[in-house]
Amino acid sequence: MTDRLLTVEQAAQLLGTTARFPRRLIAERRIAFVKVGRHVRIPERALTDFVAANTVQPITTSRRRIGAVA
């Protein structure tokens, strides 16, 4: 097993959020997690997959000419 298991607080810090956000993801079953007894751990890979799946790519548009009539 090479994937690090993170606490909810560690996952929140990695995401730059409060602990409430990863807890909500767990409650809504939107992210994979592991129960170790009564403790909940989030695999680091689950966080990277979640971020990758929810990353929105910018739209590239053609540049407008200066002085063009709209």
What pLDDT shows up at residue 67? 67
What pLDDT shows up at residue 8? 97
Task: Give the integer Cα–Cα distance in Å for 36 and 66.
Answer: 61
pTM (predicted TM-score): 0.76
What pLDDT shows up at residue 5? 96
Tell me if residue 2 falls in helix, strand or coil: coil
Task: Give the integer Cα–Cα distance in Å for 60 and 26.
Answer: 34
Question: Beta 39-43 vs 34-36: how paired, if at all?
Answer: antiparallel
List per-residue pLDDT tens for the chain, 70 residues long.
Answer: 578 999 999 999 999 999 999 999 999 999 999 999 999 999 999 999 999 999 999 988 877 667 656 5
